[in-house]
Amino acid sequence: MSGFSEWLTDVNDVQASKALAVGLPTKRVESWKYVPTRGLARTTWQPAVPQTTRQFALTGGQFVNVPTDNGLTVSENTLTGSEQERLDGISQAHGFGLTQAALEDTHLILTVQRAMSVVLNLSHLANQASSAGFAALIIRAEAGAQLTLVEQFESTNVEKANLSSLRCLMTLERDSLVTHIRFQAANTSAHLFSNLNIECCENASYRLQTVEFGSKLARNDIYIALSGREASASVNGLAITNGSQYHDTHLTIDHVVGDTTSEMTFRNMVDGKGEATFNGRVLIRKDSQRSATEQSIANLLLSKNARVNPKPELEIYADDVTASHGCTVGSLSKTELFYLKSRGLSETDARAFLQYAFAEAIVDEIEHPDIRKLVETQLLGELKHGELIAELKDSVDV
Amino acid sequence: MLSIRNLHARVGDKPILKGIDLEVNAGEVHAIMGPNGSGKSTLSSVLAGREDYEVTDGEVIYMGQNLLDLEPEERAWAGVFMSFQYPVEIPGVKNIYLLKAAVNAIREHRGLTELKAAEFLKLVREKLKVMQMDEAFLHRNVNEGFSGGEKKRNEILQMQLLEPTLALLDETDSGLDVDALRVVGEGINRMRSPERSVLLVTHYQRLLDIVKPDFVHVLTQGEIKLSGDYRLAERLEREGYEGIEAA
């Protein structure tokens, strides 16, 4: 036995039995067809042990040092009927969802009180080798509340495969605003699973800025429902995939009602033997008139062995809609390279300039200045020959 | 300084240059004129090292070395600069990053010390003034959203900073209004020196009224059909290319 079998057998409840019976998803499950699940199945996963820290962190499937900010209510009481339904929907999608449900320890519920403004910094600590943690976070932004949620991942090296799963439900009540920044530069043995299920009520706005270049495998399932008029969502995402990494984002924005707007911009930059999947779906339902959506997906391939699997999907059933979309796959522009080289930049510097430019378009959208700066610095460290740009930024930026 | 001998080049299967011979000595300004499709832009692109063109015959000797053996960046290091007919937009790269990186790359290959930020800013501000450009251009992305005239000024600004030995100016006058033409033309004139040569590719005489060339060559169908001094440009303006070809 391997994978989660032993752990699920130990848990021995109804959900665990279901997860055991169904097993991990295989390539036959459409939404998982590119995910390399062999590494998952080969490891005999143990429950991770929480580590000591002073920060608000997710470690070993537990939330520790949960903040008690003004405007924030913390509870571990039961989910609302709608929340339970949404969580069950994720669980029942496939065998991994069932495993998540069976092995989750905690449901932390955070409520940002009406018209209050809160900043939350959540650190994801690396789990030990061959160990895994599963958790769920429920966020309720009350009417007019403002939340900035910043997630960062510890990058300390772990020798063997380690895993962390977080399912996050957010409900944005009317007029609330959530700015969600995710910066994932986790250790290169990490297997990270993230489910985001967002519901935006009337005039609520959800803004996600995500940059990902760590981990061995990362799978993000994001579902955003615009279920109140004038609700809006924007997603700006960048994944840099190198070596033998695999990054996968499945994103759906659902215009449940009319007069809603969405924007989806995602960029993949893939080098080495990396593989990246981006499935971006926008659904505008039959009665969701006067909705507007913009979708832009760009993929940059930097090596012969790099792979991308982009899949833009626009499903529009209403007739009074503004929609634009674009999806490109390519390598660095020869014309741009020639221009830079004709000015005396070496091939490597010219390539670094253009890679930086490709990534910077997303990084520049990060609305938190300190995090944006941190991401820029780490991004330059990640790029081959990023030093020249780092030095230029230091010397001439005002 | 530059000897082009029997240069043949093609794009795909289509021959464009069919035997160009040209001698450019230090300090000279040569204008290459000719109708659309005559091969003018191909000539400057081949000299700058654009890879879409294949040289099928002939040679180009620049300061004693075979120019065609060099990569585009090596040509830049050796002092060759091309002002692009269509300057390339590079979203995400600030103009100032490119300018500083380029200046220091070329200084390094000339055995000069790297310019520090303050020295570079002083130099670039001086050149901006010459080109009548606002400092805000430094912090905009390379050519992105620039008007046609701004792009050409930016090219000449780069030339001023990089101080090439051989400047190839490919239709630098196209898309310019009268005022911009004067600024760009004077920017080129300031660069004239006994050590520097300029190859100026143009359709029209108007830039040549400001930048007086020492020699004018008429390129038609991939060959230099006629050479002369400045008066040839005036004759072209009066008689057109067809008149000259018929004569």
Interchain contact B96–A (C-beta under 8 A):
yes
Rounded Cα–Cα distance for residues B201 and B203 (Å): 7
Percent of chain B, pLDDT > 70?
A: 99
Is the Cβ pair A345, B105 closer than 8 Å?
A: yes
> What is the identity of the amino acid at A91?
S
Is the Cβ pair A392, B102 closer than 8 Å?
A: no
Residue B246: what pLDDT?
A: 63
Q: Which residues of B touch A345 (CB under 8 A)?
A: 73, 98, 101-102, 105
Task: Tell me the average pLDDT across B224-238.
Answer: 89
pLDDT at A59 over 90: yes
Q: How many CB pairs lie under 8 A apart between chains A and B?
A: 94
Q: Which of B67, B62, B71, B73 is nearest to B106 (CA)?
A: B73
Interchain contact B111–A (C-beta under 8 A):
no
Where exactly are the structural domains of chain A?
48-333, 334-398
How many angstroms separate the CA of residue B10 from the nearest CA in chain A? 18
Residue A218: what pLDDT?
A: 97
* A117-124, strands of its sheet edge to edge: A62-64, A57-59, A117-124, A146-153, A177-184, A205-212, A232-241, A261-270, A291-301, A321-330
Q: Which residues of B touch A350 (CB under 8 A)?
A: 73
With the C-alpha atoms ordered B46, B49, B51, B52, is the resulting torsion angle positive or negative? negative
Facing A338 at nearest CB: one of B72, B100, B116: B72
Task: Tell me the average pLDDT across A342-354.
Answer: 95
pLDDT at A1 over 60: no
Q: Which residues of B touch A358 (CB under 8 A)?
A: 92
**Lowest mean pLDDT segment, chosen from A35-44, A81-90, A139-148:** A35-44
Q: Which pLDDT tens digit goes with each residue over A132-153?
A: 999 999 999 999 999 999 999 9
Whether A316 contacts A343, CB under 8 Å: no
Interchain contact B118–A (C-beta under 8 A):
no
pLDDT at A182 over 90: yes
Rounded Cα–Cα distance for residues B47 and B30 (Å): 14
Half-sphere exposure of B200 (CA within 13 A, CB side): 34
Is the Cβ pair B102, A334 closer than 8 Å?
A: no
Q: Which residues of A touch B116 (CB under 8 A)?
A: 395
Q: Which residues of A touch B98 (CB under 8 A)?
A: 340, 343, 345, 353
Task: Take residue A225 and report the two structure tokens written for it.
Answer: 């429902």
In chain B, the residue whose alpha carbon lies closest to the alpha carbon of A353 is B93
pLDDT at B89 over 90: yes
Residue A292: what pLDDT?
A: 98
Whether A212 contacts A247, CB under 8 Å: yes
Task: Take residue B123 and report the two structure tokens written for it.
Answer: 């130099």
Residue B247: what pLDDT?
A: 59
| Residues in a beta bridge with B106 | none
Q: Which of A30, A6, A32 is nearest to A20 (CA)?
A: A6
Interchain contact B151–A (C-beta under 8 A):
no
Is the Cβ pair A393, B97 closer than 8 Å?
A: yes
Residue B155: what pLDDT?
A: 93
What's the structural domain count of chain B?
A: 1
Q: Which of A173, A106, A181 is nearest to A136 (CA)?
A: A106
Q: Which residues of A touch B90 (CB under 8 A)?
A: 336, 339-340, 353-354, 357
Interchain contact A385–B (C-beta under 8 A):
no
Rounded Cα–Cα distance for residues B58 and B7 (Å): 4
Q: Which pLDDT tens digit goes with each residue over A205-255?
A: 999 999 999 999 999 999 999 999 999 999 999 999 999 999 999 999 999
Q: Taking a contact as any Cβ pair under 8 Å apart, which residues of chain B between 13 and 52 contact chain A?
A: 48-51
Range of the domain at B42: 2-246
Rounded Cα–Cα distance for residues B30 and B231 (Å): 13
SS (H, E, C) chain B: CEEEEEEEEEECCEEEEEEEEEEECCCCEEEEECCCCCCHHHHHHHHHCCCCCEEEEEEEEECCEEHHHCCHHHHHHCCEEEECCCCCCEEEEEHHHHHHHHHHHHHHHCCCCCCCHHHHHHHHHHHHHHCCCCHHHHHCEECCCCCHHHHHHHHHHHHHHHCCCEEEEECCCCCCCHHHHHHHHHHHHHHCECCEEEEEEECCCHHHHHCCCCEEEEEECCEEEEEECHHHHHHHHHHHHHHHHHC
The interface predicted TM-score of the complex, written ipTM, equals 0.95
Residue A110's pLDDT band, with cuts at 50, 70 and 90, is: very high
With the C-alpha atoms ordered B75, B81, B85, B86, is the resulting torsion angle positive or negative? positive
Residue B236: what pLDDT?
A: 85
Rounded Cα–Cα distance for residues A246 and A241 (Å): 7
The chain-wide mean pLDDT, for chain A, equals 94
CATH number where B72 lies: 3.40.50.300
In chain A, the residue whose alpha carbon lies closest to the alpha carbon of B84 is A339
Residue A385: what pLDDT?
A: 81
Please state, in angstroms and as integers, the Cα–Cα distance from residue B202 to each residue in B30, B35, B118, B153, B237, following that order. Answer: 11, 9, 37, 16, 12
Residue A78's pLDDT band, with cuts at 50, 70 and 90, is: confident
Residue A128's pLDDT band, with cuts at 50, 70 and 90, is: very high
Residue with tokens 């000449």: B156
Is the Cβ pair B102, A343 closer than 8 Å?
A: yes
Percent of chain A, pLDDT > 70?
A: 99
Q: Which of A215, A134, A115, A132 is nearest to A173 (CA)?
A: A115
Half-sphere exposure of B179 (CA within 13 A, CB side): 4
pLDDT at A398 over 70: no
Q: Which pLDDT tens digit goes with each residue over A268-291?
A: 999 999 999 999 999 999 999 999
Rounded Cα–Cα distance for residues B83 and B171 (Å): 8
What does DSSP say about strands A321-330 and A291-301: parallel, antiparallel, or unpaired? Answer: parallel
Interchain contact A358–B (C-beta under 8 A):
yes
Q: Taking a contact as any Cβ pair under 8 Å apart, which residues of chain A between 319 and 348 contact chain B?
A: 334-336, 338-347
SS (H, E, C) chain A: CCECHHHHHHHCCHHHHHHHHHCCCCCCCHHHCCCCCHHHHHCECEECCCCCCCCCEEECCEEECCCCCCCEEEECCCCCHHHHHHHHHHHCCCHHHHHHHHHCCEEEEEEECCCCEEEEEEEECCCCCCEEEEEEEEEEECCCCEEEEEEEECCCCCCCCEEEEEEEEEEECCCCEEEEEEEECCCCCEEEEEEEEEEECCCCEEEEEEEECCCCEEEEEEEEEECCCCCEEEEEEEEEECCCCEEEEEEEEEECCCCCEEEEEEEEEECCCCEEEEEEEEEECCCCCCEEEEEEEEEEECCCCCEEEEEEEEEECCCCEEEEEEEEEECCCHHHHHHHHHCCCCHHHHHHHHHHHHHHHHHCCCCCHHHHHHHHHHHHHHCCCCHHHHHHHHHHCC
